[in-house]
Amino acid sequence: MTKELLIQAILKLMAGIVILGALLFIPAGTFSYWNGWLFLAVLFIPMFAAGIIMMFKNQELLKKRLNAREEQAEQKQVVLFSGLMFIAAFVVAGLNFRMKWFVMPKWAILLATIIFLIAYILYAEVIRENEFLSRTVEVQEHQKVVDTGLYGIVRHPMYSTTLLLFGAMPWVLGSPISFLIMLIYIPIIVKRIKNEEQVLKEGLDGYADYCERIRYRIIPFIY
C-alpha cells in the first residue's frame, strides 16, 4: 500500500461527499433532507468499501479508477455535459424537497434504493471481471478483450449498470423532475460508446471480432 495513493483516495472521497452534500442540502435549505442522507450513505459507503478492497487487492485498478483525465476532445465534452447533468439533477432534487413539488411514497423510495444497491453490486462485478477497466477511453499496454461473464452478454456492462444507477438516483432522492434531467445521460452515453468502440477497434486486437460476436452494447435485444 502506498501512502500517496491512500491519501489521494481519501481526499477524493471526502471531496465527493462535501461537494455532493452542498449540491443537495443548500438547495433543500435544511439538513433534514433525509433522502439526501440516504443517498450519501448508499453511494459512499459501498464506494469506501470497494476502495479498501482495491487498495489491498489491486492498487493498479484503484489508480485507474481515480484517474478521470480524458485526453480526447470528444470525451472531454462527454465529461462536461455529464457533470452539468448531475449538478442540475442534484440541485433540483434539493429544491423539490424544499418546495414540496412532488412527495413520493416511502415504499417507492425504498424500491429505488434496492435497485440502486443491486446496480452497485453489478458495477462491482464488472470491475472484478475486467482488470483493464478505466474511467478514460484508452487502450492500455498488454490489454486483452474480455468476453466472459457480463461481457458475454453486452459489450459495455459498465454503462448498463450506470444506466440503472443513474436512473435510480433521482427516485432515491424523491425527485421525479431530476429523473427527467437524468434522461440526458442516454444520448451522452451513446456518444461516448461510439467513440470508445472506434478507439478500441483501431487499437485493441480482437475487439472488432468481439463486436461481431456480441451484438448488443448495453441492453440485450434492444441496443
On whether residue 223 sits in a domain, the answer given is no
Tell me what pLDDT residue 144 has.
86
Tell me what pLDDT residue 131 has.
75
Q: Which three cell numbers stand for residue 156?
A: 459495455
Q: How far apart are CA 83 and CA 158, in angstroms?
A: 18
State the residue range of the domain holding 168: 3-213
On whether residue 89 sits in a domain, the answer given is yes
Q: CATH number of the domain that 17 lies in?
A: 1.20.120.1630
On whether residue 220 sits in a domain, the answer given is no
Number of domains in the chain: 1
| Contact indicator for 164, 115 with CB cutoff of 8 Å | yes
Tell me what pLDDT residue 143 has.
81
On whether residue 219 sits in a domain, the answer given is no
Residue 189 has pLDDT above 80, yes or no: yes
On whether residue 127 sits in a domain, the answer given is yes
* CA distances in angstroms from 69 to 18, 31, 138, 152, listed in the order given: 21, 33, 11, 28
Residue that wins the pLDDT comparison between 8 and 161: 161
On whether residue 36 sits in a domain, the answer given is yes
On whether residue 130 sits in a domain, the answer given is yes
Q: What is the pTM of this model?
A: 0.88
On whether residue 222 sits in a domain, the answer given is no
Q: How far apart are CA 105 and CA 192, in angstroms?
A: 35
